[in-house]
Chains A and B, each alone.
Chain A
Amino acid sequence: MAAMVSLRKVSKRYRRGAQSVPVLESLDLEVEAGEFLALMGPSGSGKTTLLNLLGGLSRADQGEVRVAGARLDQLSPRALARWRARHIGFVFQFYNLLPVFNAQRNVELPLLLTKLSREQRRHNAQAALALVGLADRGAHRPSELSGGQQQRVAIARALVADPSLLICDEPTGDLDRASADQVLDLLRRLNREQNKTIVMVTHDPRAAAYASRRLNVDKGQLGDDATTVAAT
């Protein structure tokens, strides 16, 4: 199986005033296409930084970042934006839906960056909403939906342009248990039935249990990746 993600000796530092704080140090990582990887670790361990590097939201200071066949460290900001539109679907902890748009319009947003016609965009957005079980909620604004429903709309938005990789940052961090299970079930179904590659950051071991592989991030380093979990 081809590697969807390949990181070689990647380092990233942040500036805090006069100080330069290392976050990731000489990190290597491979994620195969079709994998569902959970990244775990304490706050400040660098897992969200790693996720941002994979999603092309920030750049490494050193090393090689290859995702979906592209060397992200070599792309211009504009090319990187186009690459994100084509290859990455993001799911955020707080859903990040645009409150002024209804669910249908929120899901349609990534398709505005494609050549699809208006009708095709509407059709695909409706199909994505149906996939997450919210076909009848297209006209509702985010404020009219529960947290779990909002996160499923966000997943529909992440999926609608058929990206190569889903990047999920604490997707259940703001949800109750039942809603979290629904969202995790959905992610697992997308991974298994549609072969979507997923990298998910989570604090929650129960959420991580849904992934096919778990890695611990601590002090900018990856722990053993030997743990392969068969989710229940």
Chain B
Amino acid sequence: MHAVHQILAVTSMNLRGLPQRIAPSLVVVTGIAGVVGVLLAVLALSQGLSRSLVTSGRADRALLLHAEANSEAASALTRDSVSRIIDSAGIARDARNEPIASAEVPATLRLPRRSDGALGILTVRGVGEKLPALRPEILINEGRMPARGLNELIAGRAARSGFAGLDIGQHVVLGNADWTVVGSFESGGDAHESELLADADTLLSAYQRASFNAVTVKLLEPAAFDTLNRALAADPALAVTAMRESDYYQQRSQKFAKVLAIVARLVAAIMAIGAVFAALNSLYSVVSARTVEIATLRAIGFGGGAVMISVMAEALLLALVGACAGAALTWLLFDGHMVSTVGGGGVANVIFRLHIGGGLIAVGMLWACAIGLIGGLLPAIRAARLPIDTALRAQ
């Protein structure tokens, strides 16, 4: 109990002196706010992209690519292969006993981004007629589905909000033909909301292509994936690789998210070094300004530990104020905002929502505490080890 009293008394003394040290304290708070703000913003990008991609995949759907391809773009499947695939065991069937599957063709479309007017790349996905049964999460919220055989497409909610020219009735040029936007859809915030959907056969004709890129199938149940795999392996005419859709998107997201997470931590770490020095400087000035007062308390009988903890407590308090400021600012600026990946090199943009949630804020708080504690440690040790008799003469 005595120790608590001592710590409270010295901490109270230090904190009440804060108004006299407002400038160096603000430097610490601002530095830590900057670290936390940048960290949260970049981590929110990483998490948002990851969430968007991961929610796109479900365990009861499988994606089938050519055996030598590792992505949809690099894969090619003939109509014959597609027919053999969708007749395999393990695939769910609808009321008409037809397999729930969609042979798909991704194409790209360049449109001006709403944010800066620069051209960005969108994926136009040619899909099969079983799409509603295969992806029940896709809901038409305006207009209608594209008709088979017509140059019509529908735009995902994120694509519409990120790109100009996708309102219903507007036209885009795709494969040297004019296509009409006839509807818009949402699909729970997943990556498909960044895409446009059209009839696969019509899209193949527009591009004068004969082969599909991939087939997505609905499994009887998640465990039926093994049945499907065995059936595909048993057919010598097929050379395909099956992946659970959830695994495919998980792999894609991990690659992006990991890079972003590393960038977030690297940038934050560099800024944190600056913040640590600001904290060191400020708290050394606290100890210096309070030398006689600290020595007086030590002379009265206050322990070095109490003095040390009180300096650390001040560092921690400044860090937490900085963390709250940084988190609040980031939340105000970014929470709920839609952002788009930069689709360079022919890679389509993924548009997703940023969310600055409790988990991220907790990460920011932990970083701030670490900066505060590291920055406060040396000044705290100096305060605790002041030779009392020498310090008392410092006035």
Contacts and interface: CB of A to CB of B under 8 A. Distances in A.
A binds B: yes
A109 B298 CA distance: 11
Contacts of A90: 296, 299-300
B299 A57 contact: yes
B5 A92 contact: no
A78 B306 CA distance: 12
Most-contacted residue by chain A among B13, B17, B304 (CB, 10 A)? B13
Contacts of B388: 57-58
A11 to B, nearest CB: 16
B2 A100 contact: no
Contacts of A49: 389
A81 interface: yes
A94 B388 CA distance: 15
A58 B17 CA distance: 28
B335 interface: no
Chain B contact residues: helix, strand, loop or mixed:
helix
A27 interface: no
Interface in A79-103: 81-82, 84-86, 90, 92, 94, 96, 98-101
B304 to A, nearest CB: 7
A84 B300 contact: yes
Interface centre among B297, B301, B304 (most CB of A within 10 A): B301
Contacts of B6: 112-113
Interface residues of A, number: 27
A57 B16 CA distance: 27
B389 A92 contact: no
Interface in B244-281: none
A55 interface: yes
Contacts of B301: 81-82, 84-86, 110, 113
Contact of B389 (A57, A85, A113): A57
A55 B295 CA distance: 13
A92 B293 CA distance: 12
Interface of A: 49, 52, 55, 57-58, 77-78, 81-82, 84-86, 90, 92, 94, 96, 98-101, 109-110, 112-115, 157
26 contacts: A57-B392, A58-B388, A78-B303, A81-B302, A81-B304, A84-B299, A84-B300, A86-B301, A90-B296, A90-B299, A92-B392, A96-B296, A98-B13, A98-B293, A98-B296, A98-B297, A99-B293, A101-B13, A101-B16, A109-B297, A110-B301, A112-B9, A113-B2, A113-B6, A113-B300, A115-B2
